[in-house]
Chains A and B, each alone.
Chain A
Amino acid sequence: MARRFLTAEDVRRASAAEIVLEEGTVVTPQALEAAEQAGIVLRTGAAAYREPAPDRGPDAQATRQRLPHLPEPHDNPALESAAIVTAVGKNRPGVLAAITAAIAEHKGNVNDVSQKVVEGYFHMILTVQLEPGTSFDAFKTALECLSCPDDFAVRVMNERLFRP
């Protein structure tokens, strides 16, 4: 196990013009400052010191290597980008067109639609396949922005929420 931390005290005690750190050592902000003031160079191997990626510990490492994978969304891009869009509100011409146009603009493909109109109010549920690489967040924002407070409300959810 490498030295975990380099503190300001460690820097003050060092007499050399440079300190060579092992991979994974974290230098505290105070130590960085002390080294700069004293003109001491911090190195990891041949390169200048840069904060290492966080070492989350042996369990995290083991989990990454060994996990008998439960299906995760990132294993299946199709799952990662399936959205469920719901819209509820007053019926008027052009509602469906506005929503589907926004979906098309984000290159979403409507897989399924269910719609009902009761006494001038409608509710609609669409399942939408997004193209891989489409940002779910941007898609969600764009569609939810269509909502008018007195008119109808659009909500977008990730399909994974429904998978047991």
Chain B
Amino acid sequence: MSFSDREILETVRMLELETLDIRTTTLGISLFDCADPDLESACEKVYAKVVHHGKDLVAVADSIAGDYGVPIVNKRIAVTPIAWVGAASGADDLSPLARALDAAAAAVGVDFIGGYSAYVEKGFTRADRALIDSIPIALATTERVCSSVVLASTRAGINLEAVRRFAEVVQDTARRTAARGGIGCAKLVCFANAVADNPFVAGAHMGVGEPETVLNVGVSGPGVVRSALERLGPEADLLAVAETVKRMAFKISRVGELVGREAARRLGTVFGVVDVSLAPTPAPGDSVADILEIIGVERTGAPGTTAALALLTDAVKKGGAMASSSVGGLSGAFIPVSEDAGMIRAVAEGALSLAKLEAMTAVCSVGLDMVAVPGDTPVSTLTGIIADEMAIGVVNNKTTAVRIIPVPGKSAGETVEWGGLLGTAIVQDPGRFGCEVFHRRGGRIPAPLQSYRN
């Protein structure tokens, strides 16, 4: 037999017991050719193009899942930022394009479509402004559309005007979806140093420099890493921990690359990247916080958490890089609070504060993700939280994001239930001190010295 029994049983275990899966196959579709001076015609083209290219995605993903016996959990679509597509129309309200995307996503059977987006890290075009203004109505009137706004980059600095406007949009979106715990904000994210090939929602979109169509894959497997570390035991040193995580990330990435290349081939398109990310879900065992606790912190948020997370993120990237030449996207460890049962346990027990979470985002691969704050949090405080997170990304030359939900009618310590993959959140306290003057100043934080690299 060309494989040892051990290898085979290990793979069976990864698939059966440790929730190894392909978290998402995301088809990127360029919509540049859908621009039209007439908004209605632009909507028609957007709908037609997404359906034209996306109609086989679900069937192809399902056929691969059948042929290889690896579950493919989500099928999604990412498109060109709509601010660029809608610019030619000169319309003040671009939300009809969001509804066209929503209808197209429903027609092809994907659960989310990302790309109701704009890049404003240095300033606004008229279309950027129109798009951002229409985000609350777009998210309140659609089911599957996800929106992202790029507010900062290492090259451009932080656009505080945009951060302020985004904070208002977050508040407004929460208010418009108040009946469902402000769930609209779960589909709304802002970025520093956004990646143009990220297959994971809510930030998925197709930036400039991407091909006409491309298939990106996101693999996940916190459970695989967790149980490998459990078997390693508490006596092993951190070098051994890093080595174990790396080996598991390697295996996960190989499966991702296999599936991605095969899906691209069956669709007749280009294989883009495999994003190797430990993306937790509320399911038992599928938790990044659990991994941190097995590495050795008593509860996530305790001293040592940031260091353990740094080790984890780095080892995942290294394992991925050895397994595939096409590693991209965000690749690392995600720490969305509400989607991770272990993180919620840590918040409930008082181990994980917002401040510690922010420190952790300096070494994870995304940022403040799925964090609930009181519904009456002032816009200036939201501006401050977002600007802090953008600063971490800009100065450290990495991607950071904020997905924050000011839950209407809830105050700190209360629980909000979103259900499904979004999980349960405990409203966290942003503290009683604000940043009103900082907020009012507006303007731009210039690019840091490390951006001058030419």
A-side residues, CB < 8 A to B, are 4-5, 7-10, 26-31, 51, 54-60, 63-64, 72-74, 84, 86, 112, 114, 123, 125, 127, 136-137, 140, 155-158, 160-162, 164
Contact = CB atoms under 8 A, between A and B. Distances in A.
A60 B41 contact: no
B53 A54 contact: yes
B280 to A, nearest CB: 23
B66 A140 contact: yes
Contacts of A55: 212
A127 B5 CA distance: 11
Given A8-B40, A60-B211, A157-B68, 11 more contacts: A5-B49, A7-B36, A7-B44, A30-B44, A54-B53, A57-B212, A60-B269, A73-B262, A127-B2, A158-B67, A160-B258
B422 interface: no
Given A5-B48, A158-B68, A56 B11 contact: no
Contact of B34 (A5, A10, A155): A5
Interface in B1-21: 1-3, 5, 7-9, 11-12, 15-16
For chain B, what secondary structure do more than half of its interface residues adopt (helix, strand, loop), or is it mixed? helix
Interface of B: 1-3, 5, 7-9, 11-12, 15-16, 30, 33-34, 36, 38, 40-41, 44-45, 47-49, 52-53, 56, 63, 66-70, 211-214, 254-255, 258, 261-262, 265, 267-270
A57 B69 contact: no
Contact of A51 (B1, B15, B33, B52): B52
Contacts of A31: 44
Contacts of A157: 8, 11-12, 15, 68-69
11 contacts: A4-B45, A9-B41, A29-B47, A31-B44, A54-B213, A56-B270, A60-B211, A114-B5, A157-B11, A162-B8, A162-B11
B84 to A, nearest CB: 16
Given A56-B53, A63-B270, A162-B7, A86 B45 contact: no
A56 B48 contact: no
B55 to A, nearest CB: 8
B267 A84 contact: no
B22 to A, nearest CB: 12
A59 B45 contact: no
A137 B44 CA distance: 38
10 A-B pairs with least C-beta separation: A57-B212, A137-B66, A59-B211, A28-B44, A28-B48, A56-B269, A7-B41, A112-B1, A158-B68, A56-B213
Nearest to B254: A164
Contacts of A112: 1
Contacts of B68: 157-158, 160-161
Given A56-B53, A57-B211, A161-B258, A8 B41 contact: yes
A1 B5 CA distance: 55
Contact of B212 (A7, A29, A60, A136): A60
B37 to A, nearest CB: 10
Chain A interface, >50% SS class: mixed
A136 B213 contact: no
Contacts of B67: 136-137, 158
B66 A57 contact: no
B41 A72 contact: no
Contact of B270 (A59, A136, A137): A59
A133 to B, nearest CB: 13
B1 A114 contact: yes
A60 B38 CA distance: 30
B40 A9 contact: yes
Could you say which of B1, B7, B8 has the most chain A C-beta atoms within 10 Å of its C-beta?
A: B8
Given A7-B45, A155-B12, A162 B3 contact: yes
- Counting chain B CB atoms within 10 Å of each CB, the highest count among A10, A127, A157 belongs to A157
A114 B66 CA distance: 25
A155 B70 CA distance: 11
B8 A57 contact: no
B311 to A, nearest CB: 25
Given A157-B12, A162-B11, A72 B265 contact: yes
B12 A5 contact: no
B36 to A, nearest CB: 7
A85 B219 CA distance: 24
B7 A56 contact: no
A155 B30 contact: no
Question: Which interface residue of B11, B36, B48, B49 has the most chain A CB atoms within 10 A?
Answer: B48
A58 B49 contact: no
Contacts of B11: 157, 161-162
Contacts of B70: 161
B326 to A, nearest CB: 12
